[in-house]
Amino acid sequence: MTLDRGQVISWLQDNVSRDRLEHILGVEQMAQALAQRHGTDPDQAAQAGLLHDLAKFFPPPKLLQIARQHGLEIDSICAHVPHLLHADVSAIVARTEFGIQDAQILRAIANHTLGHPGMDQLSCIIFVADALEPNRGDDKKLQKLRQLSEKNLYRAVAGVCDYMLKHLIKQHKIIHPRMILTRNWALQTKGDRTESSIT
C-alpha cells in the first residue's frame, strides 16, 4: 500500500497545530536527508517522519484508552504523564488510519520520543531528526549535534539524550528510565557500525 502524503497532511491539519505541522515536515525532510547520508531507505524515513506525531495532540484520556485497547504496557511514569505514550499511539494510528504495515516504520515512530536500546538505524534517524530538525532552533549545541548526526548516528543519539535530559532536569520534569537506557546503549555502541560507511 502506497502512503498518500496529501491525505496524511490533510489529516494532520485537522489534528495538530500549525507549528506542529511545520515541525513534522521538518522531521520528514531531515529524516530523508539522514537516510540518504547513512544508506537507509529514504522513503521509509520520510514516511516515519511524516507520521511520527499523529497522536501528539490527543488528550491524556484518549492516549490511555488507545494504549489499553491495543495492549501497550503502561508503566507508572506513563500513567502519570500519558503524553509519553503519544509515540506508541502514533504508531497505532499510522497502522489503523493509514494502513502502515512496515514494522521498521512503526518501530521508528514508536521509538521517537524515548528511544530504545538496540534501535535500528531507521529508529535512530527519526529519534535524532525529531530533536534536531531546523524548526527546533539554532543554538550552538543543536548545530553541533546536527553536524554529528551526519557523521555518526549513534553518537548523535547519545548527544540528543544528553541535551534532552539536561532540559528535563532544568525544568524539574520526570525522566523516563528508557531514555537513560537509550543513552547508555548509544554510548556503548559508539557508532562503530556506521563509521565504516562514512567518507
167-190 pLDDT tens trace: 999 999 999 999 999 999 999 986
First-to-last alpha carbon distance for the chain, in angstroms, is: 35
Residue 37: band (very low, low, confident or very high) from pLDDT cuts 50, 70, 90? very high
**pLDDT confidence of residue 2:** 80
In terms of Cβ atoms closer than 10 Å to its own Cβ (0-12, 13-18, 19+), residue 24 is buried
| Confidence (pTM) | 0.93
CB 166 within 8 A of CB 173: no
Return the C-alpha cell found at 16.
495538530
Q: State how far the Cα of 57 lies from the Cα of 11, in Å rounded to an integer.
A: 12
Using a pLDDT cut of 90, give the percent of the chain over it: 93
**Does the domain made of 5-195 have the CATH classification 1.10.260.40?**
no
- For the chain, the domains span 5-195
Q: What is the pLDDT of residue 117?
A: 97
Q: What is the mean pLDDT of residues 96-125?
A: 97
* pLDDT score recorded for residue 197: 32
Q: Of the candidates 24, 5, 17, which has an alpha carbon nearest to the alpha carbon of residue 130?
A: 24
Given this model, what pLDDT does residue 9 score? Answer: 97
Q: How far is CA 158 from CA 20, 85, 103, 104, 149, in A?
A: 24, 21, 24, 21, 10
If you search the block for the grid coordinates 506513563, which residue do you land on? Answer: 78
Give the C-alpha distances (Å, rounded to integers) separating 8 from 35, 55, 69, 92, 155: 21, 13, 23, 14, 32
- The C-alpha angle 40, 181, 192, rounded to 5 degrees, equals 40
Instruction: Give the burial string for 37-53 (b: 16+ CB within 10 Å, else e).
Output: bbebbbebbbbbbbbbb
With bands split at pLDDT 50, 70 and 90, how would you rate the model's confidence at 1?
Answer: low
* Beta-carbon count within 10 A of 14 CB: 6
Q: If DSSP states are collapsed to H, E and C, what string results for 92-122? A: HHHHHHHCCCCHHHHHHHHCCCCCCCCCCHH
At residue 94, the pLDDT reads: 98
- The overall average pLDDT reported for the chain is 94
- Of 134, 150, 119, 143, nearest to 36 by C-alpha is 150
Element (DSSP H or E) covering residue 129: helix 121-132
pLDDT at 194 over 60: no
Neighbours of 141 (CB within 10 A): 12
- Please write the tens of the pLDDT for every residue from 76-110: 999 999 999 999 999 999 999 999 999 999 999 99
pLDDT of residue 196: 32
